[in-house]
């Protein structure tokens, strides 16, 4: 049901006018957008294998995704392959910021996950915890797909 706000306005010439304003309709922000924003607050956190939370504790790739979605009430599996198995698959041409991006040699051999960050200066970006010695940040997708690995995309509902 849409509510209408009414205001009475009395002008100095002695008559009253009523102005009706309908509030602007806002679509709910998709969870993928919220998760991307939340994960980006962790830029600079160190990579720690098996870690899933807190800037000071660090993250591994699936731990960052797990943590970002958990902040918005969505619990995902803990590993990249298990996360891939749970999501709704989308094509690269239908990907949107905040969708998950998985790297693997096949759909049954996924070994890395991050959050799709859009395109900047012509390069597709992944927000992820890449590997030991590196930190959470935006990285070029092409750095993960040189050679035989492929990028697969998926969306979490909500």
- Choosing from 26, 60, 72, 128, the catalytic residue is 128
Between CA 13 and CA 10 the distance in angstroms is 8
Q: What is the gyration radius of the CA atoms in the chain, in angstroms? A: 22
pLDDT number for residue 148: 83
The answer to the question of residue 125 being in a domain is: yes
Q: For the domain that residue 39 is a member of, what is the CATH number?
A: 3.90.1720.10
Active site (annotated) includes residue 112: yes
In a domain, 20, yes or no: no
One digit per residue, pLDDT tens: the chain, 158 residues?
444 334 344 434 454 444 444 444 456 889 999 999 999 999 999 999 999 878 899 999 999 999 999 999 999 999 999 999 999 999 999 999 999 999 999 999 999 999 999 999 999 999 999 999 999 999 999 999 988 899 999 999 87
Is 122 contained in some domain?
yes
In a domain, 94, yes or no: yes
Question: What is d(CA 134, CA 51) in angstroms, rounded to the nearest whole number?
Answer: 14
pLDDT of residue 8: 43
Q: Is residue 116 one of the residues assigned to a domain?
A: yes
Q: Domain total for the chain?
A: 1
In a domain, 24, yes or no: no
- 60, 61, 99, 139: the catalytic one is 61
Q: Is 128 considered catalytic here?
A: yes
Of 60, 99, 112, 139, the active-site residue reads 112
Range of the domain at 79: 31-155
Distance CA 101, CA 63 (A): 14
**Axis crossing angle, helix 31-40 with helix 61-70, rounded to the nearest 10:** 120
């Amino acid at each position: 049901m849409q509510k209408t706000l009414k205001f009475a306005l009395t002008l100095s010439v002695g008559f009253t006018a009523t102005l009706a304003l309908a509030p602007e309709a806002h679509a709910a922000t998709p969870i993928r957008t919220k998760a991307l924003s939340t994960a980006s607050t962790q830029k600079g956190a160190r990579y720690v294998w098996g870690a899933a939370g807190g800037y000071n504790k660090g993250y591994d790739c699936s731990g960052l995704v797990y943590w970002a979605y958990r902040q918005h009430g969505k619990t995902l599996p803990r590993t990249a392959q298990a996360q891939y198995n749970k999501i709704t698959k989308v094509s690269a041409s239908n990907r949107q910021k905040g969708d998950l991006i998985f790297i693997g040699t096949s759909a049954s051999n996924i070994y890395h996950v991050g959050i799709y960050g859009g395109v900047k200066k012509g390069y597709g970006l992944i927000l992820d915890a890449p590997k030991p010695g590196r930190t959470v940040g935006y990285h070029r997708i092409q750095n993960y797909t040189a050679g035989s690995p492929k990028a697969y995309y998926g969306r979490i509902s909500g």
